[in-house]
Structure 1
Amino acid sequence: MAVRQIAVKDTTAASMLDLSAPEFRRLVEVGALPQPCRIGGHERWRVDMLEAVVNGDAAMPEQEFEL
């Protein structure tokens, strides 16, 4: 049985979105993607939040961003 990840590091999150890690970080910095949460001093991105952005279910900022 495969374990479903609920939070991932930046390189995994970038891979999930078919982005390079620097491009993923840039989109986080400008607010197009969610900020990470901290778990024991580690930054992790919630998979459900990334999926919400891709599915169009996340609250969108007023400014448009190109993924």
Structure 2
Amino acid sequence: MARFTPILACETTAAQLLDMKPAEFRAAVEAGHLPRGRELVPGLVRWPVEDLKRIASGDAIEGGGIQW
């Protein structure tokens, strides 16, 4: 079976990608340390994987292209 790379991640997957527990990830988002997810349709929130990669690599420091 072919493996795919997601372009969007739910809260749990976003937390896993940053090696965080979902509660830690949620707290960091609520505190403004990480960007809020994008609501695609009412009640469906996802985080762009490319944004998470830029955060992890340090490319997003000082707002380097990510809208908080």
Q: TM-score range by the shorter chain?
A: 0.7 to 0.9
Letter in 2 for 1:7: L
TM-score by length of 1: 0.79
- Structure 2: 5+ residue stretches without partners: 64-68
2:13 corresponds to 1:8 = no
**Matches of residues 1-67 of structure 1 in structure 2 within 5 Å?**
1-41=2-42, 42-60=44-62
- Total equivalences in the alignment: 61
Q: Give every structure 1 segment of 4 or more consecutive aligned residues whose post-TM-superposition deviation is greater than 6 Å.
A: none
Task: Give the aligned partner of residue 66 of structure 2.
Answer: none
TM-score after normalising by structure 2: 0.78
Partner Cα distance (2:62, 2:33) in 1: 8
Offset of residue 31 of structure 1: 1.7
